[in-house]
Amino acid sequence: MGPLRASVSSLSVAAVTALLLILLASGQASAHMPIIEKKDTAGFADAIHIRDPAVSWAIYGFLEKPGDADYYYFDLEDGLNVYTELLVPVSPVYEEFRPSYAIVGPGVPGNDAVPFETAPGSSALVVDSPGGARETFYEPFGGITYYKGIPKHTMLTVPGRYYVVVYDDRLMRGDYVLAVGEKESFRLRDLPGVIAAVFRIRTGAVDHSSIVSGNSETCPANNSPSGPVI
């Protein structure tokens, strides 16, 4: 990296840091923890860990091929009314992209059919994207406008391991943000990772719309820090 590029990058990180602190101080943005998907999961065995499902997380993922599914998991020792919502960036490319997600585990209040195998004793609750015209909102941290999903609270009373699986029944590809949890728990030690994640979000690292539309053949490099470990 040359001196000029390094200088511009440093200024950009400084600008993101200042913006982040201003938004937090002014209360214009909730203190969710942004996480960028670092790997494409192939099943329950390599699901990405969500450290605490009570804490507010925003997980930036990408269904990169037809039939793709992304797997996440969390462990519960006690009952919890878990909040989830699935958002999609507003883009002409994603006007018809309406992914679903399933909450899977031993105490899930549902018995919905899912397009993947589940463990014996587990049940699944499927939440689809809304049909028709979707409401939108602007998220100031990442500077992105999203189609709203359906906010969902699921009471899980049985201790154990639970999964959230994001997929698309119509085998479409696209970007999404999986929101999990509502508790704002922003720790100072998380700040460097959050700044790195917000910088990547604001510089287009989570935007794969050109790939989906066929205008690009490769995904953005994903070897930078992706935020706090979940």
DSSP notation for 29-80: S---EEEE--S---SGGGPEE-S-TTB-EEEEEEE-STT-EEEEEEEESS-E
The helix/strand/coil state of 138 is strand
Residue 119: the pLDDT is: 87
* Residue bearing tokens 């949890």: 181
Which of these, 29, 50, 51, lies nearest to 41 by C-alpha position?
A: 50
Residue 17: the pLDDT is: 52
Residue 170: the pLDDT is: 96
Contact 116, 169 (CB under 8 A): no
Task: Give the Cα separation of 194 and 190 in Å (integer).
Answer: 6
Contact 152, 84 (CB under 8 A): yes
Residue 185: the pLDDT is: 73
CATH class label, 3-212: mainly beta
Bridge-based pairing of strands 69-76 and 48-49 is parallel
Q: What sign results for the dihedral spanned by CA atoms 39, 44, 46, 52?
A: positive
User: Can you list the residues of the chain whose pLDDT is less than 70?
Assistant: 1-31, 186, 216-230
CB atoms within 10 A of CB 121: 10
Residue 32: the pLDDT is: 74
Q: What CA–CA distances, in Å, run from 77 to 52, 155, 161?
A: 11, 13, 9
- Interaxial angle between packed helices 3-26 and 191-202, expressed in degrees from 0 to 180 and rounded to the nearest 10: 110
The helix/strand/coil state of 124 is strand
